[in-house]
Structure 1
Amino acid sequence: MNYFELFGIEPSFTIDTAAVKKKFYELSRANHPDFFGGATTEEQNTALEQSATINEAYKTLQNKDQLIKYILGLKGLIQEEEKYQLPPDFLMEVMDLNEQVMELDKSDTAAVAAIKAAANKLQNEIYEAIEPIMAHYSESVTTEKELLQVKDYYFKKKYLDRILAGLQ
């Protein structure tokens, strides 16, 4: 059973977080290990496993990056610790930003803001290309080619997130 089935929702990149939260509390109450104190060891272990799965599913469904990775994983389009090859032009832009970060005096708030703005601008540009795919995702309609565009976005965003994290 995948996380969408567990929470009784359709697979989507745009999750109704309020509905997921409500279902999480419902599932948590029904499967919390504390309620299985008088049960057999096997039932206690099952409740513990279910509770861990529910927690992990909730965490994944609430985090856009984890959700993208999860859907791509369900489709067999992403592997754990995958070494994804990004386009050279994107890598050049990222290298330029990284060089700026390395040479940066972090007390220079104007320079930090300029690099953040450049990284955010690039992040917005790459998101615009896949936003319609993510907004209208449907398992029966969305093509593998479109999902590979989402994968490309996912790995590009990871690079940009690392740059932004280095500016904290």
Structure 2
Amino acid sequence: MAPLTDSHFDLFGLPPTFVVDRQKLDDAYRTVQAQVHPDRFAAAGDVQRRLAMQWATHANEAYQTLRDPLKRARYMLSLRGVDAENNTAMELAFLMQQMEWRENIEDAAGAKNIGALEALLDELREEERVRFTKLEALIDSRSDRAAGAAVRQLMFIERVAHEIGAQIERLEHV
């Protein structure tokens, strides 16, 4: 077993690339979990049980990080010393787009127009798909500053999409 300080990629024996083979990740996760699951150490001493719990927790966190593209991108950038979350600088065009999305959400929610909210959610999902494709190229080419900006934009898109989903759910239950 690799040290707890190794990267999530090392833990699962995967190359440190943005695109992850989901089947290999799932298989590697199950293998690691089978080795470190706390139930295997139920009869062991306190130290071994505690270590098993730490390993199982580490494996779960690593798996959750690598299976989610946005978390994986943030993690990869953090390995390179880039803090994509706390830098709030955004392009003016994206700030304007944010305002437009927010106004459209407010208008559709005020009009109780679920169809308009669903259309906006579809638009955001397509925008997200396009941006993830660009993010992949940025990360793999080690354009870390631009990748950090792309991650921040995707984080915003994810929040807005969540808000739209919550609005749709609220309107469906009124």
| Same structural fold, with TM-score higher than 0.5 when normalized by the shorter chain | yes
Q: Partner amino acid for 1:148?
A: R
Listed as ranges, the gaps of 5+ residues in structure 1 are: none
Q: Hey, what does 1:29 align to over in structure 2?
A: 34
The answer on 1:133 being equivalent to 2:138 is yes
How many residues of Structure 1 are paired with residues of Structure 2 in the alignment? 159
Cα distance in 2 for partners of 1:67, 1:128 equals: 14
Partner of 1:11: 16
CA distance in structure 2 between the partners assigned to 1:155 and 1:148 by the alignment:
11
Cα distance change, pair 125–52 in 1 and its aligned pair in 2 (3 A): closer
- CA distance in structure 2 between the aligned counterparts of 1:98 and 1:126, rounded to whole angstroms: 19
Distance 1:95 1:154 in 2: 18
Aligned residue in 1 for 2:49: 44
Task: Name the CA distance, whole Å, in 2 between partners of 1:55 and 1:14.
Answer: 19
Please identify runs of 4+ aligned residues in structure 1 that moved more than 6 A.
none
Query: 1:26 and 1:130, CA in 2 relative to 1: closer, same or farther beyond 3 A?
Result: closer
Question: Are 1:78 and 2:83 matched, yes or no?
Answer: yes
Unaligned runs of 5+ in 2: 1-5, 166-174
Distance in structure 2 (CA, Å) of the matches to 1:14 and 1:128:
10
Q: Which residue in the other structure is 1:155 paired with?
A: 152
Mean alpha-carbon deviation: is it higher for 110-119 or for 151-160? 110-119
Amino acid aligned to 1:100? N
Distance 1:35 1:102, change over 3 A: same
CA distance 1:35–1:119, shift in 2 (3 Å): closer
Residue deviations 1:49-71 (CA, integer Å, cap 9, x gap): 00100111111111111100110
Q: Does 1:94 align with 2:98?
A: yes
1:131 CA drift (Å): 4.1
Identity %: 21
Which has the higher relative contact order, 1 or 2, with Cα contacts under 8 A spaced 6 or more apart? 1
> Structure 1 residues 41-50 or 113-122, which shifts more?
113-122
TM-score (norm 2): 0.81
